[in-house]
Amino acid sequence: MIHETKAEWLAAAHKNVLLFGMSGLGKTRISSILRDGGWFHYSVDYRIGTRYMGEAIADNFKREAMKVPLLRELLLSDSVRIRSNITFDNLAPLSTYLGKPGDPAKGGVPFEEYRRRQAQHHDAEVSALLDTPRFIERAQEIYGYRDFICDTSGSICEVVNPENRADPVLSVLSRHLLLVWIEGSQDHTAELVKRFDRAPKPMYYRPEFLLDCWNQYLAESGRMPGAVDPDAFVRWTYARALAHRQPRYAAMAAHWGLKVAADDVARVQSPEDFRALIAEALEKRAHQAA
């Protein structure tokens, strides 16, 4: 880790932090607080949806627009422009493109096309993560920012191998940032499942995990791939995905960084609160290692 002790952290001229953990536990909220307090905010999801998948997202919109005669005519004559309006707080264009597998009549994507888009997301996420050091440099040298917060996708644990001490992504990130896991409790997990059940959203999964879930769901539901209800499948998969990700997050924290409790993160209201929270976590980690 770039900071091993509370004293090192507090004395650091530049504080560069990467937050990771399940979506819904406060990564973006904390990043927004820090941004308002003078930190540079780098959103991995935003980078994925603009730099690496922006063209694919826009092309998907255009493909749908071409099915409408009026829009088709206007597109072919360059009379209208269709683009994504993705923001740090609204990642819907990226989620919509990633989609959910199943019945096209219910908004589903054929499974092989879904797997292709998942592979695109994997490559985009790795690239966006590896861009982080360059953005730290840009933030300091061009814009004069002292501190930097990297707000990662919930799927970061799916594109790295935390048990591999030479992991190409984590090796780069850990040289430049302090990696911090926001750890949720069982109550948080239950609430996330309820929230997801109300509004199921697309996610990225490791290929082998996705294929296993898909085959198991088909066997249990007795449905053919083209008749699967997309929302039903992602709801069925979500709790399994949480359980699958938990030990991967824990290994990232154990081998590459540290952890803070989601309840403590929820109490952070300012950059000063955040600095104190990290100082406390480093002190706790040092005592446990002693």
pLDDT in tens, 2-35: 999 999 999 999 999 999 999 899 999 999 999 9
* Mean pLDDT (whole number) for 200-212: 94
SS (H, E, C) the chain: CCCCCHHHHHHCCCCEEEEECCCCCCHHHHHHHHHHCCCEEEEHHHHHHHHHCHHHHHHHHHHHHCCCHHHHHHHHCCCCCCCCCCCCCCCHHHHHHHCCECCHHHCCECHHHHHHHHHHHHHHHHHHHHCHHHHHHHHHHCCCCCCEEEECCCCHHHCCCCCCCCCHHHHHHHHHCEEEEEECCHHHHHHHHHHHHHCCCCCCCCHHHHHHHHHHHHHHHCCCHHHCCHHHHHHHHHHHHHHHHHHHHHHHHHHHEEEEEHHHHHCCCCHHHHHHHHHHHHHHHHHHHC
* pLDDT given at position 20: 98
User: What is the share, in percent, of the chain residues with pLDDT greater than 70?
Assistant: 100
* pLDDT given at position 121: 97
CB 212: neighbour CB atoms within 10 A?
A: 14
- The answer for residues whose C-beta is within 8 angstroms of residue 169's C-beta and 6 or more apart is 126, 129, 130, 159, 160
Query: Do the Cβ atoms of 203 and 154 come closer than 8 Å?
Result: yes
Average pLDDT along the chain = 95
Maximum C-alpha span of the chain: 70
* Mean pLDDT (whole number) for 212-239: 96
> Given pLDDT bands bounded at 50, 70 and 90, which one contains residue 83?
confident
* Mean pLDDT (whole number) for 123-150: 98
How far apart CA 228 and CA 244 sit, in angstroms, is 23
pLDDT in tens, 163-187: 999 999 999 999 999 999 999 998 9
Task: Return the C-alpha torsion angle 238, 240, 244, 247, nearest 10.
Answer: 100
Q: 15 — phi, psi (to 5°)?
A: -110, 110
Q: Side by side, which strands form the sheet with 257-261?
A: 40-43, 148-151, 16-20, 178-183, 257-261
Establish how many alpha carbons lie within 13 A of residue 266's alpha carbon, considering only the half-sphere containing its beta carbon: 9
> Given pLDDT bands bounded at 50, 70 and 90, which one contains residue 214?
very high
How far apart CA 9 and CA 19 sit, in angstroms, is 16
Q: How far is CA 61 from the centre of its chain?
A: 23
